[in-house]
Amino acid sequence: MQMPNLLEAKKRTKIEPKTINYEINKEYKNLGTNKTYHIKTYGCQMNEHDTENIKAILEQMSFKETDIMENADLILLNTCAIRENAHNKVFGMVGRIKHLKESRPNIIVGMCGCMVQEEVIAEEIISKYKWLDIVFGTHNINELPRLLSNSLQEKKLNLEVYSIEGDIIENMPAKRDSKYKAWVNIMYGCDKFCTYCIVPYTRGKQRSRTKENIINEVKELIKDGYKEVTLLGQNVNAYGKDLDVNYDMSDLLEETAQTGIERVRFITSHPWDFTDKMIEVIAKYPNVMPYIHLPLQSGSNKILKLMGRRYTKEEYITLYNKIKEIIPNCAITTDIIVGFPGETEEDFKDTLDVVNTCKYDSAFTFIFSPREGTPAAKMEDNTPLETKEQRLYELNELINKYARQANEKYQDKVVPVLIEGPSGKNKDLFMGYTDTMKLVNVNTTKDNIGKIINVKITDVKTWSMDAVEDKSE
């Protein structure tokens, strides 16, 4: 049993993380023979990519994937800690799984991901959910074979969650969801400590992968036929700052573009670290997509300061204008939190003001959720929930208006789309994204799946567009 600890998780040691190569021990390779697994994933792209690693590890152990949770011999929940409602969703699911386990006591049930990195959650599991089999954190996914082997041998809760981040694990296998688009981690953890955010505790100290390992992974993906990579990190603009090298995110982006991969994206950016050189690289390389997710969080300087965001409303708008000036077709999306402790009507108006200035292509909007152990959770918060909900509603109305307006500019235009597969809405259509990350349902043929084709936009909605293949060339 290894419990997470909040104080440990907060520490930033000077210890250099080691890079170690993942390898599965032979003795674990047949443990899953004739057994199936099912994973439910909550939260961000980082978690989705972790799930791709977990799936591949399980398949090395001979487990097979099933889409039907009720049939699975192994059920894993890969959890998210970012807001309280993720907690409720996960424990609702745990309740459902308990019934399954009552009728099939031999199934193995596990929890992993960010939530279990929280000390309070680990304690909750030990006191109320002792019937779970394995619990492991974000730092020890590579230990899954050993943990599972223990669980198969002895039927008792096996909880191993470390708070001090471990090494950078290279060569972990991945069973990727897509054959055309791939996530590529460039760094782990975050050192920004925005006052509301649990991520620096659950994902630990910032650790950048070496450029050689990242570029090699991209080159391998090209060989395997991938068309698009998304460089992934909590704050990609801080890439390399923890390494003793004179090489930053703009260099990495440029070198990734030079591999010749057809599309490069990156998420998530922090406005504070966003350099002019980044903008130049995006403008210079046609295969770096003109799309930036640039979280604002709040438009009020007072709230930004309380959030520890290190920029003002004016600095944010200056950066925004610079991007739009140098890359005019760049789509910009954002994240906004309403109802942060101390947010007055005036502060909220400042946020609306920035939205009216930036007219975002789209945005994720949230009501502030206090996360235990973060500084913001201790701040005095007198705003009633009803007011916060009203603000969220008002903000969403505005966001939707601008999202639709941004899409309307595409009407009758010809744009490139990477066709991914059949559309979820209409089986006769095929879905994909433009270079600017707009979802498009295209009237085309299935031989275009996996290709970037030109399409003509025939209809626009708030969150998607319709198009036909453009054969005019």
CA distances to 55, 56, 92 from 72, in Å:
13, 16, 18
Query: Least distance (Å) from ligand 5AD to the CB of residue 78?
Result: 16
Task: Verify binding: residue 200, ligand SF4, rule CB under 6 A.
Answer: yes
Indicate whether 457 belongs to the interface with ligand SF4 (CB under 6 A).
no
Minimum gap (Å) between residue 456 Cβ and ligand 5AD: 34
Residue 192 interacting entry, from ligand 5AD, ligand SF4, none, C-beta within 5 to 8 Å by type: ligand SF4
- Comparing CB distances to ligand SF4, the nearer of 187 and 431 is 187
Counting contacts by CB under 6 A, is residue 335 touching ligand 5AD?
A: yes
Rg (CA), the chain: 23
**Exposure of 41 in the CB half-sphere (CA atoms within 13 A):** 15
Q: Which partner from the list ligand SF4, ligand 5AD, none does 211 bind, CB cut-off 5 to 8 Å by kind?
A: none
Window 76-105: contact mask with ligand SF4 (x via CB under 6 A):
------------------------------
The minimum distance between CB 121 and ligand SF4, in angstroms, equals 18
Q: Which is nearer to ligand SF4, 284 or 378 (CB)?
A: 378
Q: What's the rounded Cα separation, in Å, for the pair 264 and 171?
A: 21
* Residue showing tokens 């060569």: 171
Question: Nearest distance from residue 301's CB to ligand SF4, in Å?
Answer: 17
Q: How far is the CB of 194 from ligand SF4 (least distance, A)?
A: 3
Angle between helices 345-358 and 313-326 (to 10 degrees): 10
Nearer to ligand 5AD, 320 or 366 (CB): 366
> Which residues partner with 181 through β-bridges?
228
> How far from 370 is each of 210, 234, 304, 344, CA to CA, in Å?
35, 19, 16, 17
The smaller minimum CB distance to ligand SF4, of residues 90 and 194, is found at 194
What burial class does residue 156 get, using C-beta atoms within 10 Å of its C-beta: 0-12 exposed, 13-18 middle, 19+ buried? exposed
Residues binding ligand SF4: what is the number (CB under 6 A)? 10
What is the C-alpha separation between 457 and 473, in angstroms, rounded?
Answer: 16
Q: Which is nearer to ligand 5AD, 316 or 410 (CB)?
A: 316
For ligand SF4, the closer of residues 228 and 273 by Cβ is 273
* Interacting partner of 460 out of ligand 5AD, ligand SF4, none (Cβ under 5 to 8 A depending on kind): none
DSSP letter for 366, please. E
Please report whether residue 83 would count as binding ligand 5AD according to CB under 6 A: yes
- Residue-wise burial string across 369-387, b where 16 or more C-beta atoms lie within 10 A, e elsewhere: bebebbebbeeebebeeee
Cα gap 63→37, rounded to integer Å: 6
In the bound state with ligand 5AD, the residue whose beta carbon lies nearer, of 365 and 444, is: 365
Q: Strand 36-41 vs strand 108-113: parallel, antiparallel, or unpaired? A: unpaired
What's the distance, CA 29 to chain centroid?
30
Binding partner of 235, given ligand SF4, ligand 5AD, none, CB within 5-8 angstroms per partner class: ligand SF4
For the chain, the maximum distance between any two Cα atoms, rounded to a whole number of angstroms, is 66
The 266-295 contact track toward ligand SF4, x by CB under 6 A, reads ----x-------------------------
Q: What residues are paired with 366 via a beta bridge? A: 337
- Beta-sheet pairing, 187-188 with 158-160: unpaired
Closest CB to ligand SF4 among residues 198, 355? 198
Among 58, 72, 82, 278, binds ligand 5AD (CB under 6 A): 82
Nearest of 275, 270, 257, 246 to residue 214 by alpha carbon: 257
Q: Is the dihedral of CA 64, 65, 70, 73 positive or negative?
A: positive
Nearest CA to 113 out of 49, 207, 21 is that of 49
Q: Tell whether residue 197 is a contact of ligand SF4 (CB under 6 A).
A: yes
**Which amino acid, residue 269?**
S
Positions in 233-262 near ligand SF4 (CB under 6 A): 234-235
Structure tokens at 316: 């944010």
Residues 184 to 203 in contact with ligand 5AD, rule: CB under 6 A: 196-197
> Residue 432: which of ligand SF4, ligand 5AD, none does it interact with, CB under 5 to 8 A by kind?
none
Interface with ligand 5AD (CB under 6 A), residue from 211, 309, 371, 438: 371
Does position 194 interact with ligand SF4 (CB under 6 A)? The reply is: yes
291 binding ligand 5AD? (CB under 6 A): no
Q: Which residue is nearest to ligand 5AD (CB)?
A: 335
In angstroms, the CA 415 to CA 156 distance is: 56
Q: Is 306 in the site for ligand 5AD (CB under 6 A)?
A: no
Provide the H-helix boundaries in 79-206.
Answer: 84-103, 119-128, 144-153, 199-202
Rounded Cα distance, 390 and 411, in Å: 32
Question: Taking CB within 5 to 8 Å according to partner kind, which of ligand SF4, ligand 5AD, none is near residue 366?
Answer: ligand 5AD
Asked if residue 368 binds ligand 5AD (CB under 6 A), the reply is yes
CB-CB contact of 40 with 100 (8 Å)? no
Q: Which residues of the shown chain bind ligand 5AD in the complex (CB under 6 A)?
A: 82-83, 196-197, 295, 297, 335, 337, 366, 368-369, 371
Q: Which residues of the shown chain bind ligand SF4 in the complex (CB under 6 A)?
A: 190, 192-194, 197, 199-200, 234-235, 270
